[in-house]
């Protein structure tokens, strides 16, 4: 669809105003929010990632693209999150220490909220003990960790180890995700689950909590 291609192209150009306007148009035209997200915003960000990797564009371009992504995401958020659903469980969510990438983590939070979970979002660059302390304080049953850098992935293990050391494994389950993370890696560090994206995160967490 042309409109979604326009969203993707303008996101790649980092034009947040255009992305917001086009996302608004797509919503008004009743394009399903998930399609706007996948075929417009995420499609655009995928190209940005490839161009950045190939050194065709540079960090400031990626920052502008991220700003444009949020301009669209903020409009989609209320449509992806259904209000007034009784909470089915509490999830503490954050990007691990050293990692400032938060778009994927926020998307996972939106999907989980949409499925009725209560989200305690700790933001990005979250030290291991903050994850565990917050989960205990909030009586959360799941800690979700995001990492986009191969250099920060190992901080996920610190959280998993801390949950073990404090004897919390019966109460708190861990799930990991982010572009460089795999289910093999999750197994290696002893995390309870891995999910590829927000939708599968909902399924995996429901399984972990025995809700499905
Ligand atoms: C946008 C972006 C940035 C933005 C981030 C803005 C923001 N607010 O998030 C900025 C410009 C700040 C940035 C900075 C840097 N970046 Co950057 N960035 C990207 C880029 C292009 C897109 C990431 C993104 O948002 N994708 C879209 C979202 C929707 O996808 P996602 O994050 O993967 O999330 C999905 C899944 O992974 C999953 N998921 C994510 N989290 C979680 C959590 C759980 C619990 C679960 C279950 C699932 C899950 O679900 C999400 C939804 O589907 C990637 C390229 C790429 N291919 O990933 C590079 C990339 C991640 N960055 C990279 C690099 C190198 C950097 C910098 C070091 C650059 C520099 N020289 O300074 C810095 C590091 C800053 C830091 N300390 O974190 C490299 C990492 C390479 C590596 N092997 O480690 C990448 C891969 C680019 C590349 N190919 O070289 N970056």
Render pLDDT for 99-116 as a digit per residue (tens, 0 to 9). 999 999 998 998 888 788
Judge whether 151 and 140 are in contact, CB under 8 Å. Answer: no
Distant-in-sequence, close-in-space partners of 129: CB < 8 Å, separation ≥ 6: 162
b vs e for 169-202, b when ≥16 Cβ sit within 10 Å of the residue's Cβ? Answer: eeebbbbbbbeebeeebbeebebbbbbeebbebb
Structure tokens at 161: 């180890």
The C-alpha atoms of residue 113 and residue 111 are separated, in whole angstroms, by 5
pLDDT tens digit sequence for 153-209 = 999 999 999 999 999 999 999 999 999 999 999 999 999 999 999 889 999 999 999
First-to-last C-alpha distance (Å) of the chain? 35
Residue 87 Cα to chain centre, angstroms: 19
The C-alpha atoms of residue 107 and residue 197 are separated, in whole angstroms, by 9
pLDDT tens digit sequence for 119-149 = 999 999 999 999 999 999 999 999 999 999 9
The answer on pLDDT for 86 being more than 90 is no
CATH code reported for the domain at 89-208: 3.40.50.280
Q: With bands split at pLDDT 50, 70 and 90, how would you rate the model's confidence at 14?
A: very high
Residue extents of the structural domains in the chain: 2-80, 89-208
Q: What is the DSSP string of 165-185?
A: HTT-TTT-EEEEESTT--HHH
Query: What pLDDT score does 84 carry?
Result: 56
Q: 2-13 vs 59-80: helix axis angle to the nearest 10?
A: 140
The closest-lying atom of ligand 1 relative to the alpha carbon of residue 195 is 47
Rg (CA), the chain: 17
Distances (CA, A) of 109 to 9, 35, 106, 146, 184: 26, 18, 5, 11, 23
Mutate to test the pocket of ligand 1, among 127, 159, 179, 194 (most ligand atoms within 8 A of CB): 179
Q: Please determine, looking at this structure, whether the domain spanning 2-80 carries the CATH number 1.10.1240.10.
A: yes
Pocket of ligand 1 (CB under 6 A): 42, 45, 48-49, 52-53, 59, 62-63, 66, 98-105, 107-108, 144-146, 148-151, 175-180, 195, 197-198, 201
The C-alpha atoms of residue 193 and residue 191 are separated, in whole angstroms, by 6
Pairing of strands 89-95, 142-146: parallel
């Amino acid at each position: 669809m042309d409109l979604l291609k326009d969203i993707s192209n303008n996101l790649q150009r980092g034009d947040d105003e255009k992305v917001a306007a086009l996302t608004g148009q797509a919503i008004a035209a009743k394009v399903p929010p998930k399609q706007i997200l996948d075929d417009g915003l995420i499609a655009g960000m995928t190209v940005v990632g490839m161009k950045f990797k190939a050194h065709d564009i540079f960090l400031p371009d990626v920052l502008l693209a991220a700003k444009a992504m949020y301009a669209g995401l903020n409009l989609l958020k209320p449509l992806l999150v259904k209000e007034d659903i009784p909470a089915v469980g509490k999830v503490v969510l954050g990007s691990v220490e050293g990692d400032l990438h938060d778009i994927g983590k926020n998307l996972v939070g939106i999907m989980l909220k949409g499925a009725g979970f209560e989200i305690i979002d700790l933001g990005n660059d979250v030290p291991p003990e903050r994850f565990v302390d917050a989960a205990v304080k909030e009586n959360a049953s799941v800690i979700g960790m995001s990492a986009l850098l191969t250099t920060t992935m190992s901080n996920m293990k610190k959280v998993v180890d801390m949950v073990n050391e404090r004897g919390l494994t019966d109460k708190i389950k861990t799930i990991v995700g982010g572009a460089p993370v795999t289910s093999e890696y999750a197994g290696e560090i002893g995390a309870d689950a891995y999910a590829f994206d927000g939708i599968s995160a909902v399924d995996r967490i429901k399984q972990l909590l025995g809700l499905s």
